[in-house]
Amino acid sequence: MGRSRFFFPIIFAIVGIASTIFSIYWVTKDFPFLSFIPFIEGTLYTDILIVLGIAIPVIALEYFIIAIPMAALMLLFHKLVKAAAFDTDIMHIGSKFGGIRILRRAALPALFSVSTAGLVRGILSRYLFVDPAAIDDSIKFLYPISTTLMGALIMMPIALALFMPTWILNDAGIVTHLKRGQLEVRQCPDTEGVGKWYSSMLGGYSILAFPIAMFMEHFFNTFVIQGLDIFHPGESILRSPVFISFLWTAGIPLLVMSFVVPVVILNEVAQKKSVGFIKRIAKPLGASEVHRPVIAPVEKEPTQNDDRI
């Protein structure tokens, strides 16, 4: 496919990263003397920008150092788990992968990062974050939002270390399918990509954990446990803490996605080498190249005319 498919994802990434930097400033401008990470000098705004500056090159190196070996380990583990009833093969798959699919591929790692950051906020606060001693109640609801954003940026390299190998396995067409003898058993024929098997588990966790974590962190703990005001007297509902919290809950995954999209594009550019490597690993494990199954309607058997008088 041509390079034109990268145009919209690149625009999305540029706008998203710029929006993230602006949003970080907007959220943290009311905490000018607050620093989350004690061993980094500066304000909260400085802390988050430094984390971003460190994370971006680390993620680029992570693809080549971790993703490809992890894909090989995932393939080997999957082979051991399903060896009794399934064969592992290399299926000839299509080559189309447009801009929308690039964005969709970036969504699950972003959700995983945000969800995990919300669930492990207590651990992060204990070892990295310094809770402010006194914050005005009118802006205190922004603190958990800042924590979630910082935690998501910290968790993003971990999320990508888990998801990037699944991209390589999917792009290589590594699949498992029932052995020939298992087709005689009364069960549906099961053909599934090895990468899809892992990403479905990780994605299921992300989709389930995200609304729970965000509700507990941005709404229940903030407005029920801490008793902060949902609305400020005399202010529009669009400027109310509960509405701003809702916008951030929906927006943080999109901001994190903008940092994942360049990694998906990197995977597309380096696909030939990464896919070739994992195929060379799969063949000694017994994988052979197979064609895609053809699903066609069953033709009705011809019936004899009734000759009865």
Check residue 109 and give its pLDDT: 94
Size (the chain), residues: 309
Check residue 190 and give its pLDDT: 77
Check residue 36 and give its pLDDT: 54
Q: Residue 259's CB: how many other CB atoms inside 10 A?
A: 24
Q: Is 199 within 8 Å of 108 (Cβ atoms)?
A: yes
Answer whether residue 150 shows pLDDT above 70.
Answer: yes
Nearest to 6 by CA among 275, 286, 291, 261: 261
Over range 106-114, report the average pLDDT: 92
Q: Is 277 within 8 Å of 83 (Cβ atoms)?
A: no
Nearest to 103 by CA among 10, 201, 14, 193: 10
Answer whether residue 130 shows pLDDT above 60.
Answer: no
Band (242; pLDDT cuts 50, 70, 90): confident
Band (290; pLDDT cuts 50, 70, 90): confident
Check residue 227 and give its pLDDT: 64
Band (238; pLDDT cuts 50, 70, 90): low
Q: Residue 111's CB: how many other CB atoms inside 10 A?
A: 24
Check residue 45 and give its pLDDT: 63
Band (308; pLDDT cuts 50, 70, 90): very low
Answer whether residue 168 shows pLDDT above 90.
Answer: yes
Band (144; pLDDT cuts 50, 70, 90): low
Band (301; pLDDT cuts 50, 70, 90): low
pLDDT digits (tens, 9 = 90+) for 42-87: 666 666 677 677 777 777 788 888 898 999 999 999 988 888 888 8
Tokens of 162: 């888990």
Average pLDDT, the chain: 79
Residue predicted with more confidence, 238 or 107? 107
Check residue 35 and give its pLDDT: 55
Locus of tokens 């199954």: 293
Check residue 224 and give its pLDDT: 75
**Of 20-29, 69-78, 172-181, 240-249, which gets the smallest average pLDDT?**
20-29
Answer whether residue 228 shows pLDDT above 70.
Answer: no
pLDDT digits (tens, 9 = 90+) for 175-216: 988 887 777 777 777 788 899 999 999 999 999 888 888 887
Check residue 264 and give its pLDDT: 93
| Sheet order of strands, 289-290 included | 191-193, 174-178, 86-91, 289-290
Residue predicted with more confidence, 139 or 307? 139
Check residue 291 and give its pLDDT: 80
Q: Is 176 within 8 Å of 87 (Cβ atoms)?
A: yes
Q: Is 250 within 8 Å of 12 (Cβ atoms)?
A: no
Answer whether residue 131 shows pLDDT above 60.
Answer: no
Band (31; pLDDT cuts 50, 70, 90): low
Answer whether residue 221 shows pLDDT above 80.
Answer: no
